[in-house]
Amino acid sequence: MQPATKQTDIVALLAAVAIFLSSIEYAIPRPLPFLRLGIANLPILISLRFLKIKYIFLLIGLKVLAQGFIFGTLFSHVFIFSFCGGFSSGIVMIILINLLKKNVSLIGVSIMGAFASNSIQLLLAGLIAYGSGALFIAPPFLLVGTISATLLGAFTETFIKKSRWVKEVLACIRKSN
């Protein structure tokens, strides 16, 4: 079987993985409702190394929309938080990857993406739902986000280095360009 060579095929596969991981993450008990591990962002981190910017944004959009549909949050403030967090994170990560190229690890990119997402979500929580009470959730939210982003970035770096699938996809993309 040949690996996907079109970026849209790769987006579809990565979106499916993101939705699967999102479902697993949703099933994991959380000490507080707003604390999530962010494992569904693994495909987005992977995509930063070989997809074009428009396809990364497509992947983020598919992930956010699918989460909204699956978990019944599409028409709620939770969807707004997810949408704004996902796209702010994506923008920051894309800027870092494009400016610093190979001089930045996915650990750093992941941490900065998590910080952007968490910051926007805290701002929205203060404006939309919790008022100044959002300040009380900020420390655990940012701490869990930083720890999770560090582990996710480290895992992604290792996965990209050791994955035969990633090597095959990169080879196909280079051939088609």
The amino acid sitting at 168 is: E
For residue 169, give both structure tokens: 């996809």
CA distance 163 to 70: 29
Local confidence band at 1 (pLDDT 50, 70, 90 cut-offs): very low
3-class DSSP assignment, residue 108:
helix
- Give the tens place of pLDDT for each residue, 6-25: 888 899 999 999 999 999 98
pTM: 0.88
Is 16 in contact with 63 (CB distance < 8 Å)? no
For residue 82, give both structure tokens: 């997810």
Q: Quote the Cα angle for 30-36-40, to 5°.
A: 130
- In 3D space, the residue among 28, 53, 54, 52 whose CA is nearest the CA of residue 40 turns out to be 28
CA distance 94 to 107: 14
CA distance 3 to 100: 29
- Give the tens place of pLDDT for each residue, 43-84: 999 999 889 999 999 999 999 999 999 988 888 888 998 999
What pLDDT is stored for residue 65 in this prediction?
Answer: 95
CA distance 46 to 10: 11
Provide mean pLDDT across the span 162-166: 90
CA distance 157 to 138: 28
Is 62 in contact with 14 (CB distance < 8 Å)? no
Residue ranges and CATH numbers for the domains of the chain are 7-176 (1.10.1760.20)
Those residues with Cβ within 8 angstroms of residue 175's Cβ, 6 or more apart along the chain or in another chain: 5
Local confidence band at 3 (pLDDT 50, 70, 90 cut-offs): very low
Asked if pLDDT for residue 4 goes beyond 60, the answer is: no
CA distance 105 to 151: 12
**pLDDT higher at 165 or 5:** 165
What pLDDT is stored for residue 27 in this prediction?
Answer: 84
What pLDDT is stored for residue 31 in this prediction?
Answer: 66
- Give the tens place of pLDDT for each residue, 113-160: 999 999 999 999 889 877 888 888 889 889 989 999 999 999 999 999
Asked if pLDDT for residue 105 goes beyond 90, the answer is: yes
Is 5 in contact with 176 (CB distance < 8 Å)? yes
